[in-house]
Structure 1
Amino acid sequence: MPRWLRISLWSFGGIALAVLVTVVISLYLLLQPGRFTAMLQSQAGQAGLDLNLASPASPTLFPRPALELQGLTLSAKGASMPILLAARGRLQLPWRALLGNETVISRLEIDSPRVDLDALQAWLSALPPRTETTLPEIPRIDAGVRITRGSLVRGNEMLLNDVAVDAGSLIPGQPFPLTISARSADGTPLQLRLSATPRVKGEALRLENIELHLAQGNTLTLQLTGEARWHGAADASLKLSGKLDHADAGIYDTSLVLTPANQIDPLLLAVKLDGPDNHADLRLPPLALADWWSQLSHPQGPRLGVPPGTGTADIAKLEAGGVVVEGLSIKAGVEPPPPAPTKNASKPAPARKSQ
């Protein structure tokens, strides 16, 4: 090989190496992984949470700017049991994040997260009660979320596995899509698809054009549409209607109506189901019902009692947990008295004498 060619090759290799080192250093300086992890830890701290990483975030540039996170742990401050454990995470960043100091995340991806329901409930119960009744502004969340191979547990008990979540950006006035799929402990596939447009009108948060699709394997499908409104505290309303399709029982007309609390009545949810052999017309107070449900898992033992609510239900056949109940009839609360007979009501005809 001629001497001039060797010199040229060595020069080219040196230049390429220098460019590569410059790109790596520039990438680290431009992305500044520390500021993004500090932002996440700061936001977690404001909610009373601690976010820790097993190793510092590592930046990548192609196919788009991103930060790779390893060994995520999210727990309540001072708690021994973490709420979330995840093997890996990835923060996708817009190109404008490299051109300035704007700390913006376009998408958050989490792989193999494990969420402990007991730890989550303990953190939620420790939060200070909200006393304000004014409506906060809708938070603008430009970052979409993608979760793969997740699991939901309660201690050592598996509740859901193979959990996948895909959510778009939360921007007022634009449709917000959410898709969740999972498998129950017995392997039954579950799927939830939700789409709604959030906006503020008349000092109230509204969810317009709600489309809800819920499926349990090939057996049950629920499709509802409607809208919701929230003005703070228990001043909330909801109207959803649609169809419940059960492969073994038929198709049912279904409606959910939530009426806001007032000085006399609490927040009430009216549930109606009408179809072949099964009918239900129930009025349930969600807050009291949630408190009753929490008593079933009381640390000192379940506290049994009659669930709150009024209404009627006639169910031909009910299967739950391997138990089959047929001809179930429920009457809860005080039934309205029958209408009084009118003066012009016809008298019953006298019985005929047998021949």
Structure 2
Amino acid sequence: MAMTRRLHYALLALTGILVAGLVALVVTVYLLLQPERFTAMLQEQAAKAGLELSLASPASPTLFPRPALELQGLTLTAQGASMPILLAANGRLALPWSTLFGGPTVISRLEIDAPRVDLDALQAWLSSLPSGSAGAPNIPRIDTGVRIARGTLVRGNQLLLRDFSLDAGSLLTGQPFPLVVSAKDAGGTAMQLRLTATPRIQGNALQLNDINLDFSRGTTLSMQLTGEAHWHGAADAAATLAGSLDEADAGRYDISLGLTPANQSDPLLLALKLDGPGNHVDLRLPPLAVARWWSHIGDTEGPRLDPPPGSGHIDAATFDMAGVHVEGLHLELAPAPAASTAKPAAPATSDTQ
């Protein structure tokens, strides 16, 4: 009986020690998480890109099932701007245990719920970036991927995309990176993009090798492209992609895309060539200006019929857009003429003798 009582007390003491040790471990790890440390890191990285990151409330740390920071009310705004680029209900940063104990600051996984992205604000920020950057771009290491759910893309108060979702795998240099994006346009038509590429830092550029891109819109259009791309930082980006486009009512087309970086006199330009049954396209387009033009196609005042910005030509057997049907279309695009600095001629005078 005495032995049983001593064993009972020993078990109680051991249990108390284990509970106390567990509580101490939880408190220690909780303190090591230091949410302000990671909040400051995110804000610092945003500031380097000319952005301001704010939260509706301080980051809230959690430990189970893995260490993470819960972010409430995210707002991302270009420095000096009033319109936010991104608003999100909440986000979550999962962190490896090694980071808590003084290891490298690494994000295991990034999750964002219900973001709202304003294309006008995004375009204004991109336009403010310098054309080049010193040093190699930095690939943020994300061990287990990124997930964005229930997003919307707008231009001011105009809805462009809804039900936006993004799922990406591990982002590690030298390893294939998978990405799947899906959304619905304002009319409810579903779209999906699947991308795989291998990111690498080469010299002072971020290189994307072995790009494979598949895009579909509804059940009537699909596109497959392969190629390479690189980024020197800021707006200095280039890409070469080629493949095919299948349109249910028109047939199969050969397509090629080339992206050239902005410089002191020219914006970022996209060269597009398309050849297929009854259609030929050869254009050089500034993507941001084209996005602005496209957003006005469905204006409530009536469809805009002015040509998109850029240069080149379009030959199409038939053309349908925003309720407009055209047959035998030939369109020549020319860059907007530069403003003249010549002085106007003096008005003619008449002799009255």
Question: Normalising TM by the smaller chain, what interval?
Answer: 0.7 to 0.9
Distance 2:35 2:173 in 1: 29
Deviation string 1:287-322 (CA, Å, 9 cap, x unpaired) is 4x7557657889xxx996774322341233x22223
Aligned ranges for residues 58-77 of structure 1 at < 5 Å? 58-77=60-79
Q: Is the 8 A contact 1:295 1:303 kept in 2?
A: no
Q: Is the 8 A contact 2:274 2:282 kept in 1?
A: no
2:148 is paired with a residue whose SS is strand
> TM-score normalised to the size of structure 2?
0.75
Aligned ranges for residues 226-245 of structure 1 at < 5 Å? 226-229=227-230, 238-245=239-246
Match for residue 141 of structure 1? 140
Match for residue 252 of structure 1? 253
Match for residue 130 of structure 1? 130
Of 37-46 and 52-61, deviating more is 52-61
Which of 305, 314, 317 is the equivalent residue of 1:315?
317
Deviation string 1:265-293 (CA, Å, 9 cap, x unpaired) is 9987543333333x214141x34x75576
Q: Is the 8 A contact 1:66 1:90 kept in 2?
A: yes
Match for residue 194 of structure 2? 193
Give 1:56's aligned amino acid: P
The answer for unaligned runs of 5 or more in structure 2 is 297-303, 335-353
> Residues 332, 164 of structure 1: CA spacing in aligned structure 2 closer, same or farther, 3 A cutoff?
closer
> Residues 12, 37 of structure 1: CA spacing in aligned structure 2 closer, same or farther, 3 A cutoff?
same
> Residues 86, 16 of structure 1: CA spacing in aligned structure 2 closer, same or farther, 3 A cutoff?
farther
Residue 131 of structure 1 deviates from its aligned partner by 5.5
Match for residue 121 of structure 1? 123
Q: Is the 8 A contact 1:139 1:170 kept in 2?
A: no
Q: Which has the higher contact order (CA 8 A, sep 6+)?
A: 2
Distance 2:83 2:167 in 1: 26
Match for residue 328 of structure 2? 327
Alignment coverage as a number of residue pairs: 322
Q: Is the 8 A contact 1:296 1:304 kept in 2?
A: no
Aligned ranges for residues 144-163 of structure 1 at < 5 Å? 144-163=145-164
Aligned ranges for residues 1-355 of structure 1 at < 5 Å? 18-19=20-21, 21-125=23-127, 127=128, 129-130=129-130, 132=132, 136-143=135-142, 144-200=145-201, 205-229=206-230, 238-257=239-258, 269-277=270-278, 279-284=279-284, 286-287=285-286, 290-291=288-289, 307-316=309-318, 318-331=319-332
Residue 92 of structure 1 deviates from its aligned partner by 0.7
Of 236-245 and 252-261, deviating more is 252-261
Give 2:105's aligned amino acid: T
Of 4-13 and 323-332, deviating more is 4-13
1:118 is paired with a residue whose SS is helix
Residue 35 of structure 1 deviates from its aligned partner by 0.8
Distance 2:139 2:35 in 1: 23
> TM-score normalised to the size of structure 1?
0.75
Distance 1:235 1:113 in 2: 27
Give 1:130's aligned amino acid: P
Give 1:81's aligned amino acid: M
Quote the sequence identity (%). 59
Distance 1:50 1:236 in 2: 23
The answer for unaligned runs of 5 or more in structure 1 is 334-355
Distance 2:55 2:234 in 1: 36
> Residues 16, 321 of structure 1: CA spacing in aligned structure 2 closer, same or farther, 3 A cutoff?
farther
2:83 is paired with a residue whose SS is coil
Match for residue 343 of structure 1? none
Distance 1:322 1:84 in 2: 32
1:56 is paired with a residue whose SS is coil
1:137 is paired with a residue whose SS is coil
> Residues 229, 118 of structure 1: CA spacing in aligned structure 2 closer, same or farther, 3 A cutoff?
closer
Residue 108 of structure 1 deviates from its aligned partner by 1.0
The Cα RMSD (Å) is 3.8
Distance 2:76 2:231 in 1: 30
Distance 2:273 2:14 in 1: 76
2:64 is paired with a residue whose SS is coil
